[in-house]
Structure 1
Amino acid sequence: MLTDPLLRDALLRVRRELLLPHAVSKPGIEPIEWRLLDGAHPDDQDEWLDLVHGADSVLLQRDGEPLDSLERGRLSGGHMTSMSTYTPLTAEALQALRPTPGVRYLDLGTGPAVSLAYAAAITGPGDATGVERDGHMAAFARRNLERLGVGATVVAGDALEGHAAGAPYDLVHSGIGVPCLPAAWVEQLAPGGRLLTTVTTRTPSWVGQVLVTRTPAGRVEAVLTGGPRGHRPLHGYAWLTAVDHRSRIAASPGRPRPTRLTPPPDDAYGFWLAAAYLAPGLVRDFQAETMTIVAPEEDSWAVADPDGTTVRVHGPRDVWADLEDIHTRWVRAGRPGAFRVDVPEDGGTQHVASGTGPDALEWVLPASSAPPRQPA
């Protein structure tokens, strides 16, 4: 629910269509056929406006292509390398950060700079900076921000390094998911400041958000919470997928066995977040009719029967047994939905815990934020 009046005013004032003068429509799934919509063309305008002001991400760029001479019409092949985050997630992030006039704001992985523009409309000219790794996208964002006139700045650079030249910042927002908090981001956070980012695992199914605060005395505190959505991981990060197993699961769901675990609800965010770390290698197929969890690298899966008393399992790994164990531990820990993150200032290991005592759930975030690369 949107409760911040400054943010509400910014959402109404910023002309999103100036930042997204084109959009890519994807009419089908297989084979992939893209269609570039030109917002200035009368035949495209209605569909373009629906995308730009809709509740989904807006696809903008394939394979890091230049954006100053794109031609409307059908496209084929390639992979989308940049998009605009859909408005509900942007609004949630900015409301959590609570920008106000005069604060210094840093937007990491800024893309077409939509969230940066909303923040700049609140902070005022000169106080909002975005960092974008792709030079073509950075130039595209600068050009459109100039048309908008909110006084934001975009620099080309590695978002994982932040932007030391303008530090320290009162607010830092990352539009990319990272496996752990880069030390540079924490270093560049001012006393009293807040930092918000998605923490990604190898599964896209269960999302975590970390809110970092630096107290006026300089101490760093961080809380990780599960939720229904988050930003996509940084460029090159290899997500697991259940798609390749879908037809085999449909043809042969596996052997039935009794279960003591009724399929947990989707909004048991703390449980699912813990499962992403404590039972690594799993991904959920949200397109399946009943809850289906796959361990694709171990050729294993579990399909929960609707009655909640049996489950079908396949492969060398009993996927459902892992979830049964974690659920028991999660209940014993008090069903936590939030977890404390210890973030050493020297860039050391980042520990996560639901609390203290023998029943606490604990794990560590990866020591490096370098993404695993896609196979050649």
Structure 2
Amino acid sequence: MKKEEKIRVGISIGDLNGIGSEVVLKTFEDSRMLDFCTPVIFASVKILSFLKKHYKIKSNLHGIDKTSQILDGKINVLNVWKEPVDINFGKEDSKIGGYAIKSLKAATQALKNDEINILITAPINKRSIQSDEFAFPGHTDYLDQELEGNSLMFMITDNLKVGLLTDHVAVKDIANTITPELIEEKVNTIYNSLKQDFGVSKPKIAVLGINPHSGDNGVIGKEDEEILKPTIKKINESGKLVYGPYAADSFFGSNTYKAFDAIVASYHDQGLIPFKTLSFGKGVNYTAGLAKVRTSPDHGTAFEIAGKNQADSSSFKEAVFSALKIFKNRNQYAEITKNPLKKQPRKPQKK
């Protein structure tokens, strides 16, 4: 990408019966956003024009049928479909879920083709997206298949970053899912992400225990003693600053988290409950470990307020800014890590 070109932000529209389209349109209603990037929404200009009127948003949409028609300074809407769509705000609908997946697949393909630079995904409903053609729990698992790398759910703000060893795994299966190999893979992904995506030269990482009180020396489960502790020790021996396991119940309330660049939670709610409590509305869900940059807001479809013009676009806007910053950091890191010292031909010595 040339320096003078604006970063192209691809946006999958998510569940049209939820608040996704509302927060997307509200984000780019502020024309100053177009100074930072060029948005490309993968949906239908007809349906977004209808929604724009519904939410009394005045910004203009630029409908296109192929990426070669993208214009800087415009809110581009690439028509993934053109037929009418029946929207019923707040309702779970497999047909609407199908349109969410059409949008996601088209945006992902454009990302793979370098027609867009980064991807922001609006919220989906995990039940309505299920079909014979799409059998993934959510965005992350699909993108892990489509893009190079090993995905990791990384919840981020400027001051707090929480990664997960396991994400959408039933509580009864967590202990059996966590292995030394998984811990090393996820910690290394977070370590590398902190360096290349966030500019942290020597990351310091905390790992939370699997069991209450990190197992109390094996009294409350043996996983912390037998799996976490020896694996953390092994990672430390490789030169990485990784500490733990820490008892999760007091880790955030005592402000211990502030001493670390990132925290690794053993399972979904152990990490996301404190993260959302501390940063709800400002947090961003970042998929670390992939060859491309993808973020999303830290909330779901919010069916209960869908269509009521009550949704707050703050988290979606943060998702855009975070993706832009990560994209730029990655490019800078790639430049820095290139070997600039090419062998030069020796000059003849003077006699």
- TM over 0.5: same fold? no
Scaled by the length of structure 1, the TM-score of the pair is 0.27
More helix by share: 2
More strand by share: 1
Scaled by the length of structure 2, the TM-score of the pair is 0.28
